[in-house]
Structure 1
Amino acid sequence: MEGQRQSEPQVTYCYRHPDRETGISCVRCERPICPDCMITASVGFQCPDCVKGGSGTGHAPSASRPRTIAGGVIAAGDRRLVTKILLGVNAALFVGVMIVGERLVSSLVLFGQAIAVPYGPVEGVAEGQWYRLLTSAFLHQETWHFAMNMLGLWFLGPPLEAALGRLRFSGLYLLSALGGSALTYLFSSPGQASLGASGAIFGLFGATAILMRRMKYDMRPILILLGINLVFTFVWEGISWQAHIGGLVVGVLIAIAMVHPPRDKRTVVQYAACAGVLLLIIAAVVVRTLQLTA
């Protein structure tokens, strides 16, 4: 019996955050550290205490500034800043919709081609209003829709923002939103309206799964949650499966490029992946526009 107990895998917790499981340790002191505490070194990661005391000057000996697992600069101050800004933009538009009504919705929602509304025609993406691909991803009408998406953003956003850094997290969110909108535009009826942050949220789901796999965390909770949301995607009437799948695929691809490339090629791979995804999105929109305007 004793031999069996010794063979079981040992669960370790961050020495600064005892409630967080982790499979990564500081390369200098070997204490377990979570994504919020990881600072990139020449080989592996160091904890904040070793970085502060490593050179006697308050800086890591191998880098001028502490870095996240994705190579981003560890932000000073509020590590939820970008998440809060995104929440604020979504909330501001939601309040605007409640005050202004359908006119604001029709000016920002995703349409393929021009449609008629009581106060005149509304032009869509095919007529050159490409901004709708992004504005529609910040737009909500129903309270439950807004609440569910913002709950997902608040749950998934801060850990990803801390692990990737502000700039990389912003890119992940916006590209996931555009990916969801592009796939919706590509496959939906040209007169079908689409709105909501669901594409971006599914991108965060995908990125979280990739990050947890990279950190050797237990992936079952996030996979179960993602699976439940995918079931609702295809069985609940009125949900745009294109937005969910488009955002999910983009989020997975960007996250792989963020956390898996070799350290010496990390920045190049990340920029190339983001640029490649953006070009694919543009290509999909161009193809669909040519189909609708031919």
Structure 2
Amino acid sequence: MDTQPGLLRCYRHPEAETGIRCARCERPICTQCMISASVGFQCPECVRGGSGTGHAPDANQPRTLAGGRVASDERLVTKILIAINLALFIAVQVVGDRLVDDLALIGGAYLPTGELVGVSDGEWYRLLTSAFLHQEIPHFLFNMMGLWVIGGIVEPELGRIRYAALCLLAGLSGSALAYLLSPQNQFSLGASGIVYGLIGAWAVLARRRRQDMRPVALFVALSLLFTFTRPGISWEAHVGGLVAGALVAYAMVHAPRARRDLVQYGACGLVLLIDLGIVLARSAALT
């Protein structure tokens, strides 16, 4: 019998060729072994969730594509992020512009006296607080919808810890680029950096899953078109978040299994160092 080059063989039935992998552990599985799951197909071991014998307790635990634990609530971190944004949005409505002045990111901010304020004056917290801050209802609703929809796709694929790290780095990277490139005294706020980071991660995941990339590419193109054609939008935060999200997601889902943690943590650390370098360089230029 002729065989097709490039096809894998089922780990339980070596005589059976297959092009299907378990969505959790990535072992090749044939049609007899694959079990339908909420995301693709899983092998019997992952479905059993470690109930077999002769292995360490976590050896057969279901894992995400990036190696994280599969959680019962696949949107828990997304819900927490939305709750933080909602709490700050309500606080802004109650307190007013004073809270926005205290938490928003300001590009190259100078007082009329020439005194520096903001990140360049040591208020580094603005790099993160600005990524959860909203002032207008349409802006808040648009970002929360994006966080809920796209986050609901990305979080189950990465797992909670990796997903939270990606979101924070995307928000921080968007703020760092906005701090570097924004005009003097321009305010920047909103979760757009995080949302665009998730868009970048979604594109990487779709490519990794060998899905049809045309809808994803169209969505990314329309998102960038929206970014650069609408006035008053911080394109720097969008682009910074998009690039960081794509880079971190790529490292997470393509890391070799034997060195997965090292590659994933190293990639996150590298992005963090780049952000730190950008902020330090900009602050030095201003002072």
With the shorter chain as reference, the TM-score category is 0.7 to 0.9
Tell me, yes or no, if the aligned pair for 2:248 and 2:267 is still in contact at 8 Å: yes
Task: Confirm whether residue 162 of structure 1 aligns to residue 156 of structure 2.
Answer: yes
Q: Distance in 2 between matches of 1:37 and 1:62?
A: 22
Q: String of CA shifts for 1:219-241, please: whole Å, max 9, x gaps.
A: 22222111111001111111111
Number of paired residues?
A: 260
Cα 1:193–1:67 change in 2 (3 A) is same
Q: Deviations over 1:184-225 (max 9, x none)?
A: 000112311100111111100000000011011112222211
Q: Which residue of 1 aligns with 2:61?
A: 65
- Asked whether the equivalents of residues 68 and 74 of structure 1 are also in contact (C-alpha less than 8 Å), the reply is yes
In the alignment, what sits opposite 1:265? 259
Distance 1:98 1:56 in 2: 54
Work out whether residues 35 and 162 of structure 1, in 8 Å CA contact, stay in contact via their aligned partners in 2. no
Runs of 4+ in 1 over 6 A off after TM superposition: 58-62
CA distance 1:57–1:159, shift in 2 (3 Å): farther
Residue 148 of structure 1 is matched in structure 2 by 142
Distance apart, 1:68 and its partner CA: 1.0
Calculate percent identity across the aligned residue pairs: 55
Give 5+ residue unaligned stretches, structure 1: 1-22, 39-45
CA distance in 2, matches of 1:159, 1:59: 31
Q: Does 1:101 align with 2:96?
A: yes
CA gap 1:57/1:94 in 2 versus in 1, 3 angstroms = same
Match of 1:14 in 2: none
Alignment partner, residue 31 of structure 1: 34
One-letter code aligned to 1:189: P
1:109 and 1:136 in contact (8 A); partners too: yes
Q: 1:12 matched to which residue of 2?
A: none
What is the distance in 1 between the residues matched to 2:78 and 2:20? 25
**Structure 2 vs 1, CA of residues 205 and 53 (structure 1 numbering), >3 Å: closer, same or farther?**
closer
Cα 1:262–1:53 shift into 2, 3 Å = closer
For residues 235 and 250 of structure 1, the distance between their equivalents in structure 2, rounded to whole angstroms, comes to 22
Residue in structure 2 matched with residue 292 of structure 1 by the alignment: 286
Q: 1:285 to 1:106 in 2, by over 3 A?
A: same
2:70 to 63, 67, 74: 74
Q: Would the alpha carbon gap of residues 128 and 217 (structure 1) be closer, same or farther in structure 2, given more than 3 Å must change? A: same
Structure 1 position 47 matched with structure 2 position 43: yes
C-alpha contact 2:108 2:179 (8 A) present in aligned 1: no
1:112 offset after TM fit, Å? 3.4
1:253–1:162 distance in 2 versus 1, CA, 3 Å: same
Q: TM-score by structure 1 length?
A: 0.81
Distance of 2:102 and 2:210 partners within structure 1: 45
Check whether the contact 1:24–1:215 (CA below 8 A) recurs between aligned residues: no
Q: Contact 1:59/1:65 (CA < 8 Å) preserved in 2? A: no
After superposition, the CA RMSD in angstroms is 2.5
